[in-house]
Structure 1
Amino acid sequence: MTKIQETTLEISLGALQNNITFLRSKIRPTTKFMAVVKAYAYGSDAQQVALFLEKQQVDYFAVAYTDEGIALRNAGVTKPILVLHPLPVHFHEIIAYKLEPSLYNKYVFDAFLEASKNETNYPVHLKFNTGLNRLGFTAEEIPELLSALEKHSNLQVASVFSHLGASEDLNEKTFTLQQIKDFKEVSAQLNSKLSYKPLFHILNTSGILNYAEEAQFDMVRSGIGLYGFGNDPQYNHHFKNVVSLKSVISQIHHIQPNQSIGYNKGHIAKTAMKTATIPLGHADGISRQYGKGKAFLTVNGKQCPIVGNVCMDMLMIDITGVDCHEGDEVLIFGTQPTASAFASTAGTISYELLTAISQRVRRKVVS
């Protein structure tokens, strides 16, 4: 395998295939699958990932905002795309690109009614709040919703959904089961009144792993699981890491005792040491919180701590005693350490680390 020559985020389609196959094994063959590719497919490459997953016969895609859906359409994605947090200012674009909005309160519902007045049976998705308290209608608003839908033929409910707030934490099982119970009540009310049957879905990645028997409904959604993280030690070995961030050594320095390294004299050498400068900084998604020895990069199999403060475009690592040269490859995260392990050194999670990787970092799709 050719070594990389610049900072590169490698995206493994083979690992992506493994992960969707495993997630599908947890649900019925008839249950539909929604692939969540928001935030540039969790920091990877939304267009490449979505085009690959479309061939794996996923049923739906989900993005956070309208421009993400437009980018997928422009890349050639044809499957339905749910926009999870649409804003009324973009409703005409949503219709133009045949995207499907989540309607989560009366203000947004009424605004889309007006924007879609020339449409017939335009697919929309109703989101209900069952405990996350972020977005969503309440069960008490169902009669008003049904009345509006009956009066206006321009909208048709493609799906009804909610979002679990603690499905990865089995200590919160009572809370999660109550969310599921509340959603079942919402589903029953809508099923009894609508003249057609929309899809119902509530399970996210951790929900698929922990609550598939109780709440599979008609469709499930997965985001972080597709990219290799199950949020559960008992399942993690089934997942394969999709993205690996790699860079190279730009320059090696021999540092004398009492010399400083980096901005604000972030590190003072106590003894003679050797450092390597890496073309990667907080503008690329490796924030300052990883500096001063909290995180390490891997050079030729050796763990090398970050020294001093992370700069905007560069960081420095301690390579004392490591056999390496300028131009050698450096691993930031991948299989070992994983993005989760790397993120934990700074007290954060894989989601934040992955989605922070800058667009200026080159993406490379591998098998």
Structure 2
Amino acid sequence: MKWSSWIEVNLDSLAHNYKQLVSLTTAELCPVVKSDAYGHGAPVVVRFLHRLGAKLFAVSSVEEALTIRELSQAPLLLLTPPLHEQIPLVIKHRLIPTIESAEQVSLFERAADKHFPLPVHLKVDTGLGRLGIKPNDAVALGERIARSAKLQLAGVFTHFAEGSSSSRTARQLRTFLAVKEAFAQAGLNNLIWHAANSAAFCLGPHTHLDMVRIGTLLYGQGKGADELQLKETWALYAKVISVRRISAGSSVGYGGTYKAHRDMLVGVVPIGYSDGFTMEPQSTPAVQTARVVSRIVKGEKPQAFVDGQPVAVVGKAAMNLTILDLSAVPHPSPGLPVRLIARRASINRDLPKVYLKDGKPYCTWWNGRLYHPSAQPFDRTHSNLYDRVRML
């Protein structure tokens, strides 16, 4: 299928990053796959990394977990407590919930069935002030869970408010380790203790404990990615659908906020702010130049590339369309691929995701289905679908 706009995910780079990070710690590595695996397509990413050896994955919600269950039965940790009415789904699909109160323990016990004992993780609030039980109350809740015939206390965790700050993280870590010692004194042992995210991971092994929850670094981004020799895993593309010449002084885009200061060759790509590709208005060529210079000074990347060369966005990005200055591109025509820079987790999840392996298209995830790279997704015959048992 020839897509007009799509995401490419490099599975070789993802595997490299996973193996590289695993080699840098003695702790278990738990890939964080919330927000559709940071825009990479969580169902395929989980299945792929599970085959590489990842034993536990972290998601944000029951809804995210159920999407992943379409392709994988890998263990999934819910980083946030489920709603009361979602508890039956947690039990049915063998998800690992976060517990932060005795009330939740009672709710799970009342919903008990043949699937129990259900493993749970207890969350402790050591300073973020968002979720989790207070440190002084953690042991009592841990003992309450341990007494339950329906639940199994499998782990205890916290979340750092500023993982890249060594001093603030150190304070939270001391609080968490004090809780760990109190659990040991109460006879609550053989638990998975985890606190470090990607930023805290880079502070050193003292933050790693039994398990690290890695999201940003796994996908080749964040502070430390270059030093750790991690690779980019994700790219957004769209193909030019129209090319036209405009004269100097012509207005471009909604509101006429951009006026061409010279004769130009512009192209339109079928992607816009409804897809998560948003650009600020560029009202004049002078303002556009100033913003480009500002981005260079700040070390920010341009937002569009053709064959590795930056091209400017002109005018405002519309809901579904964006206009590019292709004047410096030799012989541009419809079908020309353009790489676009955008926030991965903000990109429209309905965009097809094409997975590359050994430099070639390996499979496509689109509209909740997995396709062979040569298939036509609009033809819904089973022959176009990969065998989900053997895939990845």
TM interval, short-chain normalised: 0.7 to 0.9
Which residue of structure 1 lines up, in the alignment, with residue 349 of structure 2? 359
Q: Distance in 2 between matches of 1:11 and 1:107?
A: 42
Query: 3-state DSSP class of the match of 2:74?
Result: coil
Q: CA RMSD in A?
A: 2.1
Of Structure 1 and Structure 2, the greater helix share is in: 1
Which residue of structure 2 lines up, in the alignment, with residue 23 of structure 1? 21
Q: Once the two structures are superposed, what CA deviation does each residue of 1:11-59 show, in whole Å capped at 9, x if it has no partner?
A: 111000110111111101xx22211111111111111111100011112
Tell me whether 1:158 sits opposite 2:150 in the alignment: no
C-alpha deviation, 1:270, in angstroms? 2.1
Which residue of structure 1 lines up, in the alignment, with residue 257 of structure 2? 266
Summarize the Cα distance change of 1:98–1:260 in structure 2 as closer, same or farther, 3 Å threshold. same
Which residue of structure 1 lines up, in the alignment, with residue 336 of structure 2? 328
Q: Distance in 1 between matches of 2:277 and 2:73?
A: 34
Question: 1:124-203 to 2 correspondence within 5 Å?
Answer: 124-168=120-164, 172-203=165-196
8 Å CA contact 1:203–1:211 kept in 2: the answer is no
TM-score, with structure 1 as normaliser = 0.86
Which residue of structure 2 lines up, in the alignment, with residue 313 of structure 1? 320
Question: 1:1-367 to 2 correspondence within 5 Å?
Answer: 5-28=3-26, 31-75=27-71, 77-85=72-80, 86-116=82-112, 120-168=116-164, 172-212=165-205, 214-232=206-224, 235=227, 238-289=229-280, 293=288, 295-323=302-330, 324-333=332-341, 353-367=343-357
8 Å CA contact 1:288–1:311 kept in 2: the answer is no
The AA in structure 1 aligned to 2:305 is T
Query: 3-state DSSP class of the match of 1:235?
Result: coil
- Please list every run of 5 or more consecutive structure 1 residues that lacks an aligned counterpart in the other structure: 334-342, 344-352
Quick one: percent identity of the two aligned structures? Answer: 26
Q: Once the two structures are superposed, what CA deviation does each residue of 1:266-300 show, in whole Å capped at 9, x if it has no partner?
A: 31112221211011111111024386645531113
Query: 3-state DSSP class of the match of 2:156?
Result: strand
Q: Distance in 1 between matches of 2:48 and 2:183?
A: 35
C-alpha deviation, 1:112, in angstroms? 3.0
Summarize the Cα distance change of 1:39–1:164 in structure 2 as closer, same or farther, 3 Å threshold. same
Summarize the Cα distance change of 1:195–1:202 in structure 2 as closer, same or farther, 3 Å threshold. closer
8 Å CA contact 1:26–1:209 kept in 2: the answer is no
Q: Distance in 2 between matches of 1:207 and 1:163?
A: 10
The AA in structure 2 aligned to 1:221 is R
- Please list every run of 5 or more consecutive structure 2 residues that lacks an aligned counterpart in the other structure: 292-301, 358-392
Q: Distance in 2 between matches of 1:361 and 1:146?
A: 43
Query: 3-state DSSP class of the match of 1:264?
Result: helix
| Equivalent residue pairs, number | 339
C-alpha deviation, 1:74, in angstroms? 2.5
Query: 3-state DSSP class of the match of 2:25?
Result: coil
Summarize the Cα distance change of 1:70–1:296 in structure 2 as closer, same or farther, 3 Å threshold. closer
Q: Distance in 2 between matches of 1:41 and 1:233?
A: 17
Summarize the Cα distance change of 1:144–1:233 in structure 2 as closer, same or farther, 3 Å threshold. closer
8 Å CA contact 1:87–1:108 kept in 2: the answer is no
The AA in structure 1 aligned to 2:199 is S
Q: Distance in 2 between matches of 1:265 and 1:286?
A: 20
Q: Distance in 1 between matches of 2:239 and 2:142?
A: 59
8 Å CA contact 2:281–2:315 kept in 1: the answer is no
Q: Distance in 1 between matches of 2:254 and 2:225?
A: 38
Q: Distance in 1 between matches of 2:34 and 2:114?
A: 29
Deviates further, 284-293 or 151-160: 284-293
Summarize the Cα distance change of 1:131–1:224 in structure 2 as closer, same or farther, 3 Å threshold. same
Q: Distance in 2 between matches of 1:223 and 1:176?
A: 18
8 Å CA contact 1:118–1:154 kept in 2: the answer is no
8 Å CA contact 1:291–1:310 kept in 2: the answer is no
Q: Distance in 2 between matches of 1:157 and 1:103?
A: 10
C-alpha deviation, 1:150, in angstroms? 4.8
Query: 3-state DSSP class of the match of 2:161?
Result: coil
Q: Distance in 2 between matches of 1:328 and 1:143?
A: 61
Q: Distance in 2 between matches of 1:99 and 1:291?
A: 47
C-alpha deviation, 1:321, in angstroms? 2.6
Q: Distance in 1 between matches of 2:103 and 2:311?
A: 53
Q: Distance in 2 between matches of 1:147 and 1:124?
A: 13
8 Å CA contact 1:129–1:136 kept in 2: the answer is yes
Q: Once the two structures are superposed, what CA deviation does each residue of 1:311-333 show, in whole Å capped at 9, x if it has no partner?
A: 11110011223212221111114
TM-score, with structure 2 as normaliser = 0.81
Which residue of structure 1 lines up, in the alignment, with residue 386 of structure 2? none
Which residue of structure 1 lines up, in the alignment, with residue 296 of structure 2? none
Q: Distance in 2 between matches of 1:322 and 1:217?
A: 52
8 Å CA contact 1:128–1:160 kept in 2: the answer is yes
C-alpha deviation, 1:70, in angstroms? 1.6
Query: 3-state DSSP class of the match of 1:276?
Result: strand
